[in-house]
Amino acid sequence: MILMTMKTIFGKHQSTFGICFVLLLISGCAREEVPTGPQASVSGSVTYDGKPIPADSIVVFYSIDKSVTGSGKVDASGKYSLAASSQSVGLPTGRYQVMIRPPEPPQAKPGTAEYQDAMMGKTKKAPPPKEIPEQFHTLDGSKIVRELKVGANTFDFELDKLEKK
C-alpha cells in the first residue's frame, strides 16, 4: 500500500524514494546510546583569595584514559557544574586532569571601529584576570588531578592556595 502510494506520488523515481523512505523510518527508530558503566556528576566552586573568579570562566575535566571531557561555566558566585561533551558517554568514573580558563572576551560587533581593528589585527589581547593564574589555563600547567566516583562529586578549588604547587 505504501509503495503504491509512493508510485502514484513519485512516478518513475519510486525506487529511489522508497529506499530513502525506508532509511528514514529506520533512522527514526534508532535509540540514543545510553552511557555504560558507572557515571559521575561534578559541581563545586572556584575562588581566588576567598572571592569568586570571574563569571563565565570555564572549568574543564579531561580523562586521558577515556578521552572524555566535561566542562561548565562558572557563575557570578563562583559555582560551576559540569556537562559531558558527549551525552552518549556521560562522565565515567576515574582520574581527570583539571584546567580553569578565563572567560572569552566579548566579540566586537560588525560595523564598529573595534570590529574593523580586530579584522585588521590591530587589537591587543587583554591580559588574563589575576584571579586565574596562567598555570591553570592548560592541563599541563595546572597539575590538578581529581578522582571522580559514582554519583555526585563536589570539588572546590582555591586557586591562590593551589598556585605554584
pLDDT given at position 102? 95
pLDDT given at position 113? 86
In this prediction, the residues of the chain whose per-residue pLDDT falls under 50 are 1-35
pLDDT given at position 139? 93
DSSP codes of every residue in the chain: -HHHHHHHHHGGGHHHHHHHHHHHHHHHHPPPPPP-S-BEEEEEEEEETTEEPPTT-EEEEEETTTTEEEEEE--TTSEEE-EES-TTT--BSEEEEEEEEPPPPPPPPTTSHHHHHHHTT-PPPPPPPTTS-GGGGSHHHH-EEEEE-SEEEE--EEHHHHTT-
pLDDT given at position 7? 44
Q: Which structural domains are found in the chain, ordered by start? A: 1-30 (no CATH), 40-162 (2.60.40.1120)
pLDDT given at position 123? 75
pLDDT given at position 159? 96
